[in-house]
Chains A and B, each alone.
Chain A
């Protein structure tokens, strides 16, 4: 299709583009290409990226070339560039061939693509372009060589450090990107250059290491009165954080950094705080720590400035909010430097929700028997549904915990559970379970449901017959895990009396084909709350009867059907995909244009499983799906 023939709707509003994306799966390939013209003009990054991904999968090289050659339309040209980048290494040969094009702009685009691909095969082709007649091309080639990260290119780049300023700046940037200490001596003299000084500082920061750190620190201390502290302090903090040991810094550095803590600009004060924390306790920790805590939003990630501050573990664990999380993360990294009493007292203060994982990791690594009493108390205070997260820990602390259990006040069911998790003989545990009343026993069984060898010999059938209302749920959970098919007759009977979700689920998990007829009854009336779980169980059971039921449940002809019908169709497709035979693939081929992404995902699964030619054609259409997970799944099948 010639470029002039690519139409686009004048309505590129957010609403119009969202509506177009929704319609897209039902459009033909040509119509999708036409839709691209509209979608790539929307300012929303989300819509544009979906359109570009689609174009990268859908358009052939000639189409992308026509985009790249569209001098009058910057949007198309940029779209072509982005699509070629998104093709990854598949775009490599096209990009290299374009280096020889007569159109300088196109050559420039090709270099930009190679910059983003970072494919080492491009090095020689790019070196050959260093003396191109267009300085813009030369500038981008230098940048592209830097992105390849091959230090052998340093001599090529040094020659450009005294060239025209734009090319010089590209060479500085490229030297930084090569990340070789050999580049440092060439960059240091440029720190005071009015044009390239800031770039040289950034390049040194990317290279990192002691020499770069010393150069940046000395430069800042020498010119502090004239330099804007915002960029240089950020770079210094970054380089200091990357050193394997704290820098032997000039004595003037700490007071100079401390003076910046009061700066109103957060970027300045936080950078100073980071640098001070890296330099160690002599610099004073309280104020810098408060600054970094205010700024660092990600709980679960330890700030780099604390990476080596094992001396702060106790302080952090006793601190508020994210500091406490960081303390746990550091403790897991340096267990030998962790004061056990700090961890013990932290167990007395309930951790916030997202702190439990880091706390568990810290306790796994520290493994100090003195922590056992606090750990036992903590376990007993936890809500029951969170206790299993501590099970691995209980096993690690088995010996000291055993000595504690007898002294602690707890419910009978908890005592049995703890004994079981701490490795008491199975016969003793079964005897203790037998002595509990039904409610307590069900409680204990629920927490021990993963202990297959312990629980398997228990009289489940007897309990189920006598007290189904107490035991059915935990028995179903255990039967699912342990494959306890001997309980199926009881579950089938129970499901007749009370069709609970857990009973329907266990019939599916155990693959019980005898229950298909019963389960199908619970699909009526359509839209009843059990329908999703019944459909899923039928998919797990599989076989001709289940597949037949599921196939008929997929048949919602009206795509604008109500929410209940739409849900039924998507879950039926999903369940059928799980158990589909080859003769079912026509159902999925017919649904690749469905408006529901989850149905199209099921289509990709099944069509990828049965690789007939007609299925591959359908998969190719799914590979340009506007929903990434669908396109990725289809592409994965096509590529395999």
Chain B
């Protein structure tokens, strides 16, 4: 007879949330209990555990070795090329030239894609830059971080299935990609080279790059954060972005009322947060 799959109690959900928030900033609200349970179940199976509490205790016992599998299990990695481009367009229309001119190294637009998943967002930025949409002259510097090392490897590989290309028309696919095999398209070198990927945790400043950026994109990541973690992430963005630089969040995300280090302003049809001068 099969034993029923274990259930995740409210208490266990709260324990996991406490751990995830402290380590990664992530939080699963009560209504996502079943989603978290189904994602963690294979980890219970892998360790031959019967209860979610036992998996929590296992994480206390050996977090270092379990961390990568855990991250891969609980994060939402879905993204695609040219996703919600209104913010890229908003940057391109006006702000990019202004930021290039006023940056710490005038002429270079330094951008960070925070929570870059398998690279769809930073590579879209690279495409914009390659096509001169952020202004001509010196190229932009594009860095990207994600907490999941497997996603970083995939980003470096730059091979994508059709779901990542769903917002592209056939002309764009032909222009930017080569067929690698039956299922995967490889991003062409001009749109791939020069984008730097690294592992980074948005709530751990020491894991993030040191240099200040002109623009940070962190879209559809903070919606999974609890308020305290959101505050930590925003404080980290404040130290990552030079005074006068811009932070772009997803359209459902807002930091209004949470910090005095940024002020909201409109760029095209999207909202950006301007880092206040120190």
Contact = CB atoms under 8 A, between A and B. Distances in A.
A536 B54 CA distance: 9
A505 B54 contact: yes
Contacts, number: 87
6 tightest Cβ-Cβ pairs between the two chains A and B: A477-B48, A320-B163, A385-B46, A385-B45, A321-B163, A532-B60
A294 interface: yes
A601 B73 CA distance: 28
Contacts of B226: 46
A450 B3 contact: yes
Contacts of A300: 35
Interface of B: 1-3, 10-11, 14-15, 18, 35, 38-39, 41-43, 45-46, 48, 50, 53-54, 57-58, 60-62, 73, 78, 80, 161-163, 166-167, 226-228, 231, 257-258
A62 B1 CA distance: 58
Nearest to B226: A46
A452 B3 CA distance: 9
B54 to A, nearest CB: 7
A598 interface: yes
A473 B47 CA distance: 9
B57 A43 contact: no
Nearest to B259: A14
A525 interface: no
A293 B80 CA distance: 12
Given A450-B3, A532-B57, A532-B61, A18 B228 contact: yes
Nearest to B32: A300
Q: Which residue, A300, A385, A477, A601, has most C-beta atoms of chain B within 10 A? A: A385
Contacts of A501: 57-58, 61
Nearest to A601: B11
Given A354-B35, A452-B1, A530-B61, A386 B45 contact: yes
A412 interface: no
Given A480-B50, A567-B60, 9 more contacts: A320-B162, A385-B43, A388-B45, A501-B58, A505-B54, A532-B60, A536-B54, A598-B15, A601-B11
Contact of A321 (B43, B46, B166, B258): B166
10 contacts: A320-B162, A321-B78, A321-B163, A353-B73, A385-B42, A385-B43, A386-B45, A388-B45, A392-B2, A529-B61
Interface in A434-480: 446, 449-453, 473-474, 476-477, 480
A257 B2 CA distance: 51
A502 B48 contact: yes
Nearest to B38: A357
B12 to A, nearest CB: 11
Given A450-B1, A502-B48, A533 B42 contact: no
A442 to B, nearest CB: 11
Contacts of A532: 57, 60-61
A389 interface: yes
Nearest to A502: B48
Contact of B39 (A18, A353, A453, A509): A353
A44 interface: yes
B163 A450 contact: no
Contacts of A450: 1-3
Contacts of B228: 18
B166 A453 contact: no
Contacts of B161: 320
A444 to B, nearest CB: 14
Contacts of A47: 227
A481 B162 CA distance: 43
Contact of B38 (A320, A354, A473, A474): A354
Contacts of B43: 385
Q: Which residue, B3, B18, B57, has most C-beta atoms of chain A within 10 A? A: B57
B38 A386 contact: no
Given A321-B78, A505-B54, A46 B48 contact: no
A44 B26 CA distance: 18
Interface string A527-548: 0011011001000000000000
